[in-house]
């Protein structure tokens, strides 16, 4: 059996290629949208993709299931479960969709991938128990999707947090408890567990950084095992729901598109180099200039109206926080980084990349700075009630400790919350150390908030200086 994990560090997302050496068939589970990596890998190992499968309707990235199925001619296997209007579409031309129910199998030569319905993170969620041979009664591994992570479980609240479905978080947590009891009762300890996400993903609250675990290890040492062991469902539900990170606004778009509405690319965008006149025309028509330089360079000088999204591992997520699929994007980026940045954008469904410029000087645009204030100056303005203080950290960070009399809107929800922020007053934006807040401040400036400053050093510097802070719990 051939097995390979493909890991995207920026989205903390894992996909899997499983092949049969005898027949040359391969299954790809939870693929990312730039699917050439799977084509290259299978070609290198004399395999052909004959099946593509999804564990669930993802919220944090735009799946490549449709893309890869269309490119390879393989069938796309999806869960048959879920509520009306929220489950997978079974009619997705030009892709052939095959629904899976609990216990049904995908055969890849001698290898079998048995579907296990494991609701909790989402109602339709499937895991795939991988049997290496037809004779193997017990599986070798479990592709667990967003069910069991290394050291954690999938969050149960996304339908409520992202789609506003009242009561879904509580019912999801109870379903997760039942799914754990089902899987722990059916599978042996030696089964290795390969999840769809790792540390840094917003699909859970404390995901481990190693790529895999075993069912036995999680049964013995995970935070949730004692609740399951003593059959304490109420305690489990409280513990699972507590402290989950904010769901970024773009999760709702991902949940919709990943049901079967994802546009098929065929090939990756190839943005052209733009001359200043073409750049100005594009911006007048609604394009956004995305400055991918380090935040320090952006603060010192940047083109008027640019959005600061530094070229770092979290670029995909940060771009999805502030941009929409309908907005043309122009990248201010080094030419040698362009192809990778394009990949990171399409992974979150930002396909309208209209062009790029290599340097600030090449834009030909007027320049501005982003005002940076020290913690001392911020404290003076706070004491004088001279500005609105906007904390763009997560709710859990804010609850642990925050500056009194401040507004909390996490950066991932800022674009959907602009109406709640007063335009007529100066604004001081801050996060933990200054990374998220520079992007948030640039988004405010681009949206027409004229008097915006970033607190250099963020809340960490404020607290180190001994300035006032309080807890929400």
Which residue numbers are catalytic? 431
Question: From CA 98, how far away is CA 170, in angstroms rounded?
Answer: 30
Question: From CA 46, how far away is CA 250, in angstroms rounded?
Answer: 38
Which residues neighbour 145 within 8 Å (Cβ) at sequence distance 6 or greater? 30, 55, 56, 118, 121, 125, 126, 127, 154, 195, 196
Q: 398 and 409 in contact (C-beta within 8 Å)?
A: no
Task: Please give the helix or strand (H or E) that residue 75 lies within, else none.
Answer: strand 75-79
Question: From CA 29, how far away is CA 15, in angstroms rounded?
Answer: 6
- The distance in angstroms from the start CA to the end CA of the chain is 51
Question: From CA 53, how far away is CA 50, in angstroms rounded?
Answer: 10
CA nearest neighbour of 226 among 199, 218, 243, 198: 218
Question: From CA 449, how far away is CA 328, in angstroms rounded?
Answer: 21
Question: From CA 276, how far away is CA 327, in angstroms rounded?
Answer: 19
CA 399, 403, 405, 408 dihedral sign is negative
Q: 171 and 158 in contact (C-beta within 8 Å)?
A: no
């Amino acid at each position: 059996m051939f097995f390979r994990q493909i890991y995207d560090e920026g989205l903390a997302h894992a996909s899997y290629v499983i092949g049969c050496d005898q027949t040359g068939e391969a299954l790809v589970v939870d693929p990312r949208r730039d699917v050439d990596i799977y084509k290259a890998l299978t070609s290198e190992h004399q395999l052909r993709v004959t099946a593509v499968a999804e564990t669930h309707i993802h919220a944090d990235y735009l799946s490549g299931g449709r893309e890869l199925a269309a490119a390879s001619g393989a069938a796309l296997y999806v869960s048959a479960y879920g509520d009306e209007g929220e489950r997978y579409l079974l009619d997705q031309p030009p892709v052939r969709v095959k629904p899976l129910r609990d216990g049904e199998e995908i055969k890849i030569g001698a290898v079998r991938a048995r579907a296990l319905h494991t609701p909790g993170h989402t109602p339709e969620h499937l895991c795939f128990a991988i049997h290496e041979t037809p004779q193997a009664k017990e599986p070798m591994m479990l592709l667990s999707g967003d069910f069991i992570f290394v050291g954690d479980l999938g969050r149960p609240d996304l339908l409520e947090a992202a789609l506003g479905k009242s009561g879904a978080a509580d019912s999801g947590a109870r379903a997760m408890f039942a799914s754990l009891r089902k899987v722990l009762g059916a599978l042996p300890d030696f089964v290795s567990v390969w999840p769809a996400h790792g540390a840094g993903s917003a699909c859970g609250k404390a995901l481990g950084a190693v790529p895999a675990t075993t069912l036995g290890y999680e049964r013995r040492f995970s935070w949730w095992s004692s609740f399951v062991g003593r059959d304490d469902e109420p305690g489990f539900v409280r513990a699972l729901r507590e402290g989950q990170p904010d769901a970024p606004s773009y999760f709702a778009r991902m949940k919709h598109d990943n049901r079967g509405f994802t546009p098929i690319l065929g090939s990756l965008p190839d943005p052209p180099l733009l001359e200043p006149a073409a750049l100005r025309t594009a911006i007048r028509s609604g394009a956004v200039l995305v400055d991918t330089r380090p935040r320090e360079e952006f603060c010192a000088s940047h083109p008027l109206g640019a959005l600061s999204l530094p070229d770092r591992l979290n670029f995909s997520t940060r771009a999805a926080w502030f941009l929409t699929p309908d907005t043309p994007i122009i990248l201010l980026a080094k030419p040698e980084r362009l192809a990778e940045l394009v990949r990171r954008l399409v992974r979150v469904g930002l396909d309208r990349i209209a062009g790029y410029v290599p340097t600030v000087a090449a834009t030909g645009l007027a320049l501005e700075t982003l005002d940076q204030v020290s913690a001392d100056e911020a404290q003076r303005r706070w004491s004088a009630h001279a500005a609105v203080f906007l904390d763009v950290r997560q709710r859990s960070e804010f609850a642990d400790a925050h500056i009194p009399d401040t507004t909390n809107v996490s950066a991932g929800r800022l674009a959907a919350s602009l109406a709640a922020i007063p335009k007529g007053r100066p604004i001081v934006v801050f996060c933990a150390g200054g990374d998220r807040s520079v992007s948030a401040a640039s988004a405010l400036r681009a949206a027409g908030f004229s008097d915006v400053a970033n607190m250099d050093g963020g809340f960490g510097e404020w607290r180190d200086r001994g300035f006032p802070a309080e807890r929400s719990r």
